[in-house]
């Protein structure tokens, strides 16, 4: 998609994220339009584990995923595809996020 936008083969109306994308800083956020006010689309890579997974194992997996998605090569790779860099979340933050999305 970034190539198509840069070559003007498609026109973007906005970006469905919470903040502008570094490759396209002039694209407006969809939330700025009067259409769907809460229109966002974020990358949320998660690893789901069985409910009975011990807390320390969940914490270890979360720490590893957080470190991986913050690696410069991973950030660069996601941004080069036109995607936003994923947000790092704690287990509690992810639980809150899922609950708020379901309620929305």
pLDDT digits (tens, 9 = 90+) for 14-73: 887 778 888 888 888 887 777 655 666 666 677 888 999 999 999 999 899 889 988 999
Mapped to the 3 state alphabet, what secondary structure does the chain carry?
CHHHHHCCCCCCCCECCCCCECCECCCCEHHHCCCCCCCCCCCCCCCCCCCCCCHHHHHHHHHHHHHHHCCHHHHHHHHHCCCCCCCCCCHHHHHHHHHHHHHC
pLDDT digits (tens, 9 = 90+) for 68-104: 988 999 888 887 777 777 778 888 888 888 888 788 7
Q: How far apart are CA 84 and CA 76, in angstroms?
A: 10
């Amino acid at each position: 998609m970034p190539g198509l936008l840069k070559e003007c083969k498609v026109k973007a109306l906005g970006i469905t994220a919470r903040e502008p994308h570094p490759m396209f800083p002039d694209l407006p956020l969809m939330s700025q339009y009067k259409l769907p006010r809460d229109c966002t689309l974020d990358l949320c890579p998660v690893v789901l584990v069985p409910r009975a997974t011990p807390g320390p194992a969940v914490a270890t997996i979360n720490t590893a995923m957080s470190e991986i998605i913050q690696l410069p090569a991973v950030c660069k790779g996601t941004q080069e595809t036109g995607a936003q860099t994923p947000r790092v979340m704690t287990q509690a933050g992810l639980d809150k996020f899922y609950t708020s999305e379901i309620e929305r």
